[in-house]
Amino acid sequence: MDLITPGSGLIFWQLFGFLGLLFILIKFAWKPMLAALEERESSIENALKAAESARNEMANLKADNEKLLAEARLERDVILRKAQEASVKMIEDAKNDALKVTAQQIENAKAVIETEKKAALTEVKNQVAILTLEVAEKLLRKNLTDQKAQKALVDEFIKDIKLN
């Protein structure tokens, strides 16, 4: 057969053979395969996108967490400072109160002492008055009996007083 003259039989068989192959493969091979490939490619792309968005979300969450933590820290500091202030104030107040109470008590004690002193003095005065009255009475009685004796008695009494 010739090199550059196409043979009729070969053209015929090649045409129908190749077209047959083409139709069979398009229907049963390439369409399902290309569809499967596309499906897989899109699923991979989606998975990548999902991973990306998950990563972004994670980053956001982390940022949020950090923000919350910072806020919590700030709040804690405020609370601590307030508590400290409160405790200092309480101690101060307690001190002041104690001082006041003590002063009051001292005041009261002083007043009691004064009262007691006055009472004691009154007692002494009363005793002195009674004694004086008793001396006067005895003196009067002796005086009534004897001059001499009276005078001795007075002396005696005076001696007693002196002794006392």
Binding-site ranges for another protein (CB under 8 A): 1-15, 17-22, 24-26, 28-34, 36-37, 39-40, 43
Query: C-beta of 44: minimal distance to another protein in Å?
Result: 9
The candidate with the shortest Cα–Cα distance to 30, out of 41, 38, 15, is 38
d(CA 139, CA 100): 58
Query: C-beta of 40: minimal distance to another protein in Å?
Result: 4
CB distance 157 to 135 below 8 Å: yes
Query: C-beta of 50: minimal distance to another protein in Å?
Result: 17
Query: C-beta of 49: minimal distance to another protein in Å?
Result: 17
Sign of the C-alpha dihedral computed for residues 44, 46, 48 and 51 taken in this order: negative
Q: Which is nearer to another protein, 32 or 104 (CB)?
A: 32
Q: Which is nearer to another protein, 10 or 61 (CB)?
A: 10
| 3-class SS of residue 105 | helix
DSSP 8-state secondary structure symbol assigned to residue 164? -
| 3-class SS of residue 1 | coil
CB distance 150 to 131 below 8 Å: no
Q: Which is nearer to another protein, 22 or 61 (CB)?
A: 22
Query: C-beta of 4: minimal distance to another protein in Å?
Result: 6
Q: Which is nearer to another protein, 4 or 144 (CB)?
A: 4
Q: Tokens at residue 57, please? A: 């979300």
Q: Which is nearer to another protein, 6 or 151 (CB)?
A: 6
Q: Which residues, 6+ apart, have CB-to-CB distance to 7 below 8 Å?
A: 1
